[in-house]
Structures are given as C-alpha cells and as structure tokens.
Amino acid sequence: MTKPLTKIRNICCIGAGYVGGPTMAVIADRCPFIKVTVVDLNEKRIAAWNSKDLSQLPVYEPGLDAVVKRARGRNLHFSTEVDLTISQADMVFISVNTPTKTKGLGSGQASDLRWVEACARQVANSAEGHTIVVEKSTLPVRTAETVQSILQASQEPKDEQTKQKTFVVLSNPEFLAEGTAISDLESPDRVLIGGEDSEAIEALAGIYKEWVPAEKILRTNLWSSELSKLTANAFLAQRISSINSVASLCEVTGADVKEVAKAIGADSRIGTKFLNAGPGFGGSCFKKDILNLVYLCRHFGLPEVADYWQKVVTLNTWQQDRIARLVVKKLFGTVTSKKIALLGFAFKADTNDTREAPAIRIAKDLLEEGACLAIYDPKVDAKQIETDLTLPPNYVLADKSSSPKEINNAEGIWWPSQNVKEAALGADAILILTEWDEFQYLNWKEIAPLMRQPAWVFDTRSVVNANAVKSTGLRLWRVGDGAQ
Ligand code: UDX
Ligand code: ADP
C-alpha cells in the first residue's frame, strides 16, 4: 500500500557538504512552498551554515550567500537532528561523502560506501509512511540495489500498531562544478532522474520544473543514471589528460597548446570547453569516479576497458610529477634551501576546496627535494594546507624569510604567505598552480626586483601576460608553450 505523492512538501537532505548545501539552498530558494532541512552529524559544519555572518558559510561559492540569505530561516534549515528530520520528510536526499576506499577489497579504487549504508539504515529506522529516497552522492553503479535492500528489510511492520513504511529509491546525480555551483544549479544543462517508479520520478521532476525547462529533465532507468554520472566525469577528465598530453608534445615540438586547443576546439564536434592544459585535474570527483569505473570494469571482466580509463589517471599523475621535476631542472638541478613562491593551492579557482588539488602532490615533490615553499592562496587557509601536506608550517622562518640568506640551510619547509609580494620576496621562482583572477593581473615590474635573480616564473595555468613577465627580465615557462 503506497501513499500517492504528487507534491513534495518536506525535504530532508543528509549531508551538508559541497553538494548537499548549495543544492538544497537552490531548491529552497526556487520552491518556497517546500520545507528543506539539511542535516549533518558534524555540529561545527551545521553551526557554520547557520552563522549570521554569511562569509562564514562552510562552502565558498560565488552567489551562495545571496541564495542562503533569501531562503534560510524561511524554508531552508540546517540541523543536527537527523532522525527527527527524516521522520518528517516525504523525500530524503542522500548527499554524503563517498571517498575511495583506503583498505580492503577494492582499496584505492572502489568507493567507500559506509556513509551511504549508514544513511540508508538511518532512513530505514526513522522514516515514517511513504518516503522517496534520492541518491545525490556520486555512487558506483548498482548502489541503489544496496540502498533498496536495506530499506526493504525495514518495510515489514513490526507489530499491529506500527504503521507500514514504504520506500522508493531514485538516482538524481549532481553535475554541478565547484566555483560555478549556483549558476550550474540555477540553469543546468540537464537534470537526470533515474528510477522505476513513475510517480516518484514525477514528484522529483515536479520540484525541478519550478525553474528548469521541462525538456532538460531527463528520465532513465536507475543504472543508466548512476553510470551516466561516472561516465560524464570520466569523459571530462579524459579531455584534460588528452590536452595535457598534447601540451608536453607542444613543448618539445615548438607548437603552442593554446593555439592547438583553439584550432581543434573550433570543430563543433570537439567544442571549445575543457581544453585548458594545466597541472592536472583535481577535485573530489574526477579521480574517484574514474577509479570507480576502472574497478567496475575489472569486476565485470572487462580488463581492456579498465586499462583504458586507468590511463587517464596515470597521465594526470605524470603531469603533476613532470611539473615538479621541471622546476627542479630549471633551477639548476636543485631546489634544496631555495625559496619558491607557490601561488594557488585550491584545485581550481573560485573555490576553497583542495581535495586532490595538483598543488598537494607538486608541493610534496618539491618539499622532498628540499625546497622552502611560501604558499599563498586567497581562499585556502594554513590549517587546510597543513592537513594536505601532513606537515606543520614553519612560522619561525615565515617571520624573516625576506632574503635567501636567512633561509640558511632550512630545507623541506613551508609557511603561508599573506599575499603574492610577501611570497615572492627573495624567491628563486614563482610557481602558479591555480588560475585565480588576481594572478592574471600581477604587477611584474614590482614583483621582479623582489626576487633573487636569475628568477623563474612557472605558469602551469597559462594565466600571466607573457610579455609583461619577460620584459622585467624574469624567465618564463608556460605549460604547453614550445616557443620558449
Ligand atoms: C567536476 C564536474 O565538472 C562536475 O560536473 C561534477 O559534478 C563534479 O566534478 P569540479 O570537480 O567541481 O566538477 O570541477 P571542474 O571544473 O570540472 O574541474 C576539475 C579539474 O579539472 C580542476 O582541477 C580544473 O582545474 C581542471 N581543468 C578543468 C583543467 O585542468 N582544464 C580544463 O580545461 C578544465
Ligand atoms: P560532498 O562533496 O559529496 O558534498 P562532503 O564531504 O563535502 O561531500 O560532505 C558530506 C557530508 O556528509 C559531511 O559533512 C559529513 O559529515 C556528512 N555525513 C556523512 N555521513 C552522515 C550521516 N550518516 N548522517 C549525517 N551526515 C553525514
């Protein structure tokens, strides 16, 4: 006996992270008649979502503060009362973390589903009446089966008094990219809903129809939906590895990867997007999703397909290592006790997220070589960098890092810098790893004299004005530029 549900009134989202927070904020903003409550076990995170000062939200996304300001307290709520919120909801979104497993079966490739499973059990216990459960987290194909079987096990009423619970599972992967989350959510290329129960599918579609054109709402079966998310990310990541592989070829042949990208992107079948060579892709999704795909392919007896996708990740790691090696080589074969200004730590611009950021691996490689890194990122704080590098900053040196002499024999240390000039002071090189806007407009005339000559600028994002850099006498290396 299922309760017919055409209009959703009460949504619970489990997981107040990068996906859950912004997605629910936009749903609440666009659907003022739905009560949306985002729950999380992490009290600090929930407190941050509730903070009066909107600059303290736990996720930095352009435009997010305005959306939260409009909806919070009206029909958007952030709470740690997980069970209560589930019990009141018609629809529960699962938006928890699914990192790659670090041990056991599938270690290093398969997703760790313990948080999803815990959520499913919690929903099974606390839900009342009919509940539509929506998978929002990126999940391996056929995860819905696991969620469904946990939920089904709780459907039988325990005694005469207990009301029967019913569940329907849908897949509704999120395609938002960090840094553009709000515009991606407000005008998505498509919304994908996978499932078998047409009534539940229409209930979810009804929410999106409030602001997304009907033709952009795609309906598929559960497994196609789950697989589409992994495949979309794998295709995007593959383009980046492809252009990065071409960049290395450009550097040795005299071609320029920017020109090549423009020429091939002009072919409408290829398109212009995702053709920027760089230090390799980062972010919480690409690597994890490809490794997931690789694991699935092996599991289903398709080793050639697994190897094919694995290469996309291999090339990405190689690109990061190659950049670190190149810096060492250009600095006369050694960076021991040399100061390098590392500009940008986030995995891309307009986010404070450092998950899988290329900067982590490149910085670790350089620290291993003995470099002293002055790290500046406009949005990433020192605590996060410390966690990522598993190395505390050396503040003692940060106070008097002005000249190379003062660095003395220190090696393999880092400290946070407050701005570019402070980082560049006495440095042998500047290494740009994130394409923050401000790095495009640096005043090289002011920066060059601060550095120890001969000094280098390594631009892994092709953001600087090459002529402006070179006119100051600085040496410039730009990714994919064979003319240098
Ligand atoms: C990605 C997908 O784009 C999104 O649809 C999915 O929901 C989650 O994963 P995100 O990880 O936020 O989003 O960032 P994205 O903009 O895709 O960039 C990923 C990485 O690729 C970044 O490190 C970025 O710097 C790099 N990149 C992107 C390039 O190196 N070159 C490009 O041309 C584009
Ligand atoms: P994503 O990028 O997918 O949004 P995050 O790691 O940013 O991932 O966020 C996931 C959130 O889910 C975290 O804040 C974590 O505390 C929360 N979470 C994980 N498991 C549970 C659970 N069982 N109940 C409530 N919150 C959970």
Which tokens go with 340? 């390098």
Q: Is the pLDDT of residue 467 over 70?
A: yes
DSSP H/E element including 191 = strand 191-194
Distance 283 CA to ligand 1 centre (A): 7
- Which residue's alpha carbon is nearest to atom 2 within ligand 1? 177
Whether 52 is catalytic = no
Predicted local distance difference test score (pLDDT) of residue 6? 58
Which of 12, 250, 285, 297 is catalytic? The answer is 285
- Size of the chain in residues: 484
Predicted local distance difference test score (pLDDT) of residue 3? 45
Taking the CA of 351 as reference, the closest ligand is 1
Taking residues 80-101, report their average pLDDT: 93
Distance 210 CA to ligand 1 centre (A): 27
Alpha carbons 53 and 253: distance in angstroms, whole number: 52
| Structure confidence by residue, pLDDT tens digits, 195-251 | 999 999 999 999 999 999 999 999 999 999 989 999 999 999 999 999 999 999 999
Alpha carbons 319 and 304: distance in angstroms, whole number: 23
Whether 229 is catalytic = yes
Q: Is the pLDDT of residue 68 over 50?
A: yes
Predicted local distance difference test score (pLDDT) of residue 1? 43
Question: Do 477 and 457 form a contact (C-beta atoms < 8 A)?
Answer: yes
Distance 295 CA to ligand 2 centre (A): 23
| Structure confidence by residue, pLDDT tens digits, 239-289 | 999 999 999 999 999 999 999 999 999 999 999 999 999 999 999 899 999
Distance 88 CA to ligand 1 centre (A): 36
Alpha carbons 344 and 433: distance in angstroms, whole number: 5
Tokens 């435009």, located at residue: 63
Alpha carbons 437 and 416: distance in angstroms, whole number: 19
pLDDT band at 154 (very low <50, low <70, confident <90, very high): confident
Task: Choose one of 137, 178, 292, 345 to mutate for the ligand 1 pocket test, by most ligand atoms within 8 angstroms of C-beta.
Answer: 178
The finding on whether 42 has its CB within 6 A of some atom of ligand 2 is yes
pLDDT band at 157 (very low <50, low <70, confident <90, very high): low
- Amino acid in the structure at residue 73: G
Predicted local distance difference test score (pLDDT) of residue 159? 63
Distance 208 CA to ligand 2 centre (A): 23
Which of 229, 258, 287, 339 is catalytic? The answer is 229
Question: Do 94 and 137 form a contact (C-beta atoms < 8 A)?
Answer: yes
Q: What is the DSSP string of 227-249?
A: HHHHHHHHHHHHHHHHHHHHHHH
Tokens 């959520």, located at residue: 119
DSSP H/E element including 43 = helix 43-49
- Which residue's alpha carbon is nearest to atom 26 within ligand 1? 281
Q: Which domains does the chain have, with CATH numbers?
A: 10-220 (3.40.50.720), 231-313 (1.10.1040.10), 316-478 (3.40.50.720)
DSSP H/E element including 316 = helix 303-330
CA angle 60, 62, 63 (to 5 degrees): 115
Alpha carbons 468 and 429: distance in angstroms, whole number: 16
The finding on whether 93 has its CB within 6 A of some atom of ligand 2 is no
Mean pLDDT of the chain: 93
The finding on whether 22 has its CB within 6 A of some atom of ligand 2 is no
